[in-house]
Amino acid sequence: MSHEQSKSETDAETDSNEDRFFLRDLGVERRDFMKAGMAAGAATSLTGCTGLLGGGGDEQRAASADYEVPPGEHDDYYAFLSGGHSGEIRVYGLPSMRQLMRIPVFGRESARGHGYDDKSREMLEEAGGYTWGDTHHPRLSQTGGEFDGRWLFINDKANPRIARVNLKYFQTDAIAHVPNTQGIHGVTGWYPDTELVLGNGEFRVPIPNDGRNLEDPDKYRSVYTAIDPESMNVEWQVLVDGNLDNSDSGKNGRYTFSTCYNSEEGVDEQGMTADDRDWVVAFDIPRIQDAVENGEYEVVNDVPIVDGRQGSSLNEADRPVTTYIPVPKNPHGVSVTPDGKYACASGKLSPTVSVIDIEAIDEVDDPEEAIAGRPNVGTGPLHTAYDGRGQAYTTLFIDSQVAKWDIEQAVEAELGSEDPVIEKIDVHYSPGHCQAAQSYSTDPTGDWLLALNKFSQDRFLPTGPYHPENDQLIYIGDDEEGMQLVKDTPSYAEPHDATIAHRDRLDPADIWDPDDYELDYIDSGESNIERDDGRVYIETYAIRNQYGLSDITVQEGDEVTLHVTNIETAKDISHSVVIPEYDINLSLAPQETRKVTFTADNPGVFWMYCGYFCSALHLEMRSRLLVEPEDEPEGPDPF
Ligand code: RUQ
Ligand code: CUA
Ligand code: CA
């Protein structure tokens, strides 16, 4: 693509609506720029186009190993990466790997004001009050098996929480606290329509964990938890044998799957690795829902718990609530193929991936007979992603590679055969997850694969004893050329997993729709101060370059609520309300309203200022909070 054409595309892409109309008036459509660009030299890439979504953006980039996105152009994909114990989500553009945004989830974060206004502070407090979390598995909501752009769900492996991120605003809008478990590891929607969100309890604990059975690990338990995605209520749990690690859903509204690496129910490494086999649990969700409706549960900490252990009477019926499918050894990732036929569980301590035939689960007498294939892919297999062309990509932690293999060949080959492996590529180093574009949905696009490596060692300039991780971009769109490693991207601890969605799947808002906020919108001229017996309620607004009130006077000891609307209608003009010494940091995107409540317990003059560089007169955008002292200050003025 020549420089000139890139420039034209750039303009069309980034210009405001007005300019788009201008272009249209001239009879020039963005599509024309694209056509010109293709004719001018991107012809080779046309062949790859079919793998991409149709009807998308006019300036769709054609598929090729070219990952460069010129200045001003947009990426094709959003990649949502977990931030591990940074407690957040990172949003990258793919294929450029540019970091577009961070979404704070489980911890306070000052740039987005997360945990500083009343609503987000209460959300964090009501979900257990923890100050940090460990995000692993970002999962997008789906409708009909395809990403619908509504929500992203994310687990907290450290503390028992699942959060929901609203993808209209790229903002965490709900956090569920999950009783009867410590931490949630795997998480998945129940697909195709995300009617539930399901979380894996990994650490076994007594239920209830109130001091009983401390020394009796036989009585420690794990639970599988279902949450309603709309209300974020914990609906029910299933008690299981062993523990639960990773999770994925089938595609037809029936089974979900979780790996278990501790079928031994050990409490140390030796105990958890004693046996050659553990298992994958298949949860029959409609059957579990029937059990809940029929009252077949015990309630602990207000949650109905259905007994899904192997010997449970619910499992002796014709249709068991859970099926335990034996697989070798300490399995880790499990993911369902895009066509919904197989659930593939990586062996971790076995060099194999067990391919479970999902339909066969209902037909076989012995669950082990549902294993349709077991390719030997290499050492330390952890997670498997898909390209939608019948091929799978499994990370090999020990070998520091990604193995590409053929799913149907794995089903045809003998168990343990290496024949289904097509090729392997070195990555740097020790990948945890790999994730392919739209791999979790029914329509993977098959062009990009991310290897999320746990170590970077010598790949970057040294930064002291803590090294960044290394997220590597691999082009998988050309089966003849094979996998091509095209980019290293250092990242801060610690992306575990990602979900990659074509940009056509999302429709983020440019500015807030005031109807999406529960608080009243405070318009220009509507500033107001109400006082009532030690309570002061202040309503005001922010606009370049002032707040609606130039001075606010309160009494020492007053409980003060500041309720502020950013009345800007221009996109990208954020303001904030910062009050030094009161730990106030209220962020406000255009048309957003938030409030913060604090006690004015220090008398004095406090500048209330804007923390976002919003205009040339940003520094002048400030008012005064005057807190009148209870007792007159003593002593003469020193100056
Ligand atoms: S699982 S260690 Cu994603 Cu590999 Cu959390
Ligand atoms: Cu508003 Cu700076
Ligand atoms: Ca084990």
* pLDDT of 32: 36
Give the residue with greater pLDDT, 63 vs 323. 323
Strands (E), 431-556: 431-436, 448-453, 469-475, 484-491, 498-502, 528-532, 535-543, 546-547, 551-555
* pLDDT of 62: 61
Give residue 59's pLDDT band: very low, low, confident or very high (50, 70, 90): low
Give 279's strand partners.
260, 326
Alpha helices, H only, 179-312: 269-272, 285-293
* pLDDT of 110: 95
* pLDDT of 11: 38
For residue 592 and ligand 1, the question of a CB distance below 6 A is answered with no
Look at residue 406 and tell me whether its pLDDT is greater than 70: yes
For the residues 195-220, what does the mean pLDDT come to? 97
Neighbours of 558 (CB within 10 A): 19
For residue 621 and ligand 2, the question of a CB distance below 6 A is answered with yes
Q: Which residues surround ligand 3, an ion (CB under 5 A)?
A: 261, 278, 330
For residue 433 and ligand 1, the question of a CB distance below 6 A is answered with yes
Question: How many whole angstroms from 433 Cα to the centroid of ligand 1?
Answer: 7
Give residue 405's pLDDT band: very low, low, confident or very high (50, 70, 90): very high
| Furthest-apart CA atoms within the chain: distance in Å | 93
Ligand whose nearest atom lies closest to the CA of 608: 2
Question: How many whole angstroms from 384 Cα to the centroid of ligand 1?
Answer: 12
Q: In terms of Cα–Cα distance, which of 119, 139, 123, 141 is closest to 229?
A: 141
For residue 114 and ligand 1, the question of a CB distance below 6 A is answered with no
The dihedral through the CA atoms of 534, 535, 540, 545 has a sign that is positive
Is residue 104 within 8 Å of residue 115, measured between CB atoms? yes
For residue 157, the ligand 1 atom closest to its alpha carbon is: 5
For the residues 162-185, what does the mean pLDDT come to? 98
Give residue 353's pLDDT band: very low, low, confident or very high (50, 70, 90): very high
For residue 185, the ligand 1 atom closest to its alpha carbon is: 5
| 3-state secondary structure labels for all residues of 390-437 | CEEEEEECCCCEEEEEEHHHHHHCCCCCCCCEEEEEECCCCEEEEEEC
Residue nearest to atom 1 of ligand 2 (CA): 575
